[in-house]
Amino acid sequence: MDKYDYIIAGAGCAGLSLLHYLNQDALLCQKKILVIDQSLQKTNDRTWCFWEEISSDFDYLTTKSWDTISIHKDQLDLLLPTKPFTYKMVEGLSFYESIISAAKKNKQIVWIEAKIESIEDNIVYWEGGAAEATYIFNSILAYNPVFQDVLQVQSLNLYASKQIAKPFLWQHFKGITIEFNQSIFDLQTARLMDFNVDQQNATAFMYVLPITAKRALVEYTVFSKEVLDVSVYNYAIQEYIERNYPQQKFTIIHEEFGAIPMTQNTFFHNERSNIIPIGTIGGAVKASTGYAFKFIQEQTKQIVSALHQGEKPNSNLPKTRHQFYDAVLLDILFNNKMSGAEIFTRIFSKNKAATVFRFLSNRSSIFDDIKIMSTLPTRLFLFTAIRVLLRSKQ
Ligand SMILES: Cc1cc2nc3c(=O)[nH]c(=O)nc-3n(C[C@H](O)[C@H](O)[C@H](O)COP(=O)(O)OP(=O)(O)OC[C@H]3O[C@@H](n4cnc5c(N)ncnc54)[C@H](O)[C@@H]3O)c2cc1C
């Protein structure tokens, strides 16, 4: 059986981010690395957005960036400058292609296109083959959540039967990139959350990112316990476009669908194992927002730093009080104690966008936290915080 230093199981955002940082490291780029994915013919299957203060490693891939965001609910239209942060968009395909083409120059990296069947101890098995490694970095969900209700049903049943301790929601969305015949969009502003849409008895908003004056990504996003039928997203998007841009003709350039788990449950982690979960299954998704791109970069850099120093890598992101805030917010959303539309509108209407961004990046000061929390109903949040604390002690 072939033996490698590292196997990267799954060449998506986390697997390729890890490969990128390994390949940039003068020591680690000499290691024997196997990258396996069921499809190395990448498509533009997702668009990543994130905020940051300084230029990132992938600045050269930025399709568009904005210095203002807006939040809308009923008659309220908030326009918030994001400085010193910039909100950025990177398209999946340009990210995949840039990392893969750079890594293909390194002859120490071996590529296999195959569906992985299992990963056990130090061995990855796929149809017709197997390989061994000192460390296996796994970003493969054992089940594909998109349009399948396997994990959804399973996770809710597990929660109901108390086999998993913490609430579980899906952030699910459909986005289309549309182009009008004439200039329509305010290019300076990313419409982060427009809550003037069907809330699906949960939390839902439209996300509109203008790329040119004629072109924008329009995405209907829902935080709820169950993924919806595709017709529901289609209807919401169509109705929104007709209402906001009446009688304007447009063409659809691109479509994407996603379902991101919003939970603090860890399903796949064994500290003693040499199989290191990364990305979504490695806990890199912020449970209360679904943002993961920046956390994945932090996580994979942390792994590379440990490997460089000859230490056992660990994909656990630093624990801060923010994970407790996430748990409280998720609990409130899961139990429908207050709508996400109300919570996020209150937070954004009383705080600068930069303060909220720092808070959501797990980097706010205690002073920022108090300011943000003072905009929310004290009794509800305090009561939930106590409940979450008691739950964590069980
Ligand atoms: C449509 C979409 C948009 C998103 N937008 C944002 C955003 O704007 N901002 C943000 O911060 N986060 C966003 N996210 C969340 C998160 O950043 C992404 O989900 C990210 O891609 C997660 O990285 P990952 O490596 O864990 O999983 P993936 O990127 O999904 O990678 C998993 C890889 O494993 C491969 N694979 C799966 N099963 C097998 C198998 N059996 N054998 C071999 N290979 C297999 C897949 O082909 C894939 O390449 C988005 C997610 C989606 C789905």
Classify domain 2-66+90-142+268-308 at the CATH topology level: FAD/NAD(P)-binding domain (3.50.50)
> What is the distance of C-alpha 51 from the center of its chain?
13
Residue with tokens 């904005």: 66
What is the maximum alpha-carbon separation in the chain?
A: 65
User: Which atom of ligand 1 is the closest one to the Cα of 175?
Assistant: 1
* Residue among 71, 361, 95 at smallest CA distance from 191: 71
List ligand 1's pocket residues with C-beta within 6 A: 10-15, 36-39, 46, 48-50, 115-116, 139-140, 256, 258, 260, 279-280, 291-293, 296
Domain map (residue ranges) of the chain:
2-66+90-142+268-308, 150-262, 322-393
- Over range 297-302, report the average pLDDT: 98
Q: Across the chain, what does the average pLDDT equal?
A: 91
**363-382 confidence digits (pLDDT tens):** 999 999 999 999 999 999 99
**2-38 confidence digits (pLDDT tens):** 999 999 999 999 999 999 999 999 999 999 999 999 9
> At a CB cut-off of 8 Å and minimum separation 6, what does 259 contact?
145, 146, 147, 170, 171, 172, 173, 227
- Over range 255-283, report the average pLDDT: 82
20/272: higher pLDDT: 20
388/92: higher pLDDT: 92
- Over range 177-200, report the average pLDDT: 97
> What is the H or E stretch that residue 384 is in?
helix 378-393
Q: Write down the pTM of the prediction.
A: 0.94
**143-186 confidence digits (pLDDT tens):** 443 334 445 545 555 555 555 567 788 899 999 999 999 999 99
pLDDT band, residue 140 (cuts 50/70/90):
confident
Backbone angles phi, psi at 351, to 5 degrees: -135, 155
Q: How many CB atoms lie within 10 A of CB 378?
A: 9
Whole-number Å distance, alpha carbon 259 to ligand 1 midpoint, is 10
The domain defined by 150-262 carries CATH number 3.40.50.2300:
no
User: Which atom of ligand 1 is the closest one to the Cα of 282?
Assistant: 26
Q: Which pLDDT score, from 0 to 100, does residue 145 have? A: 39
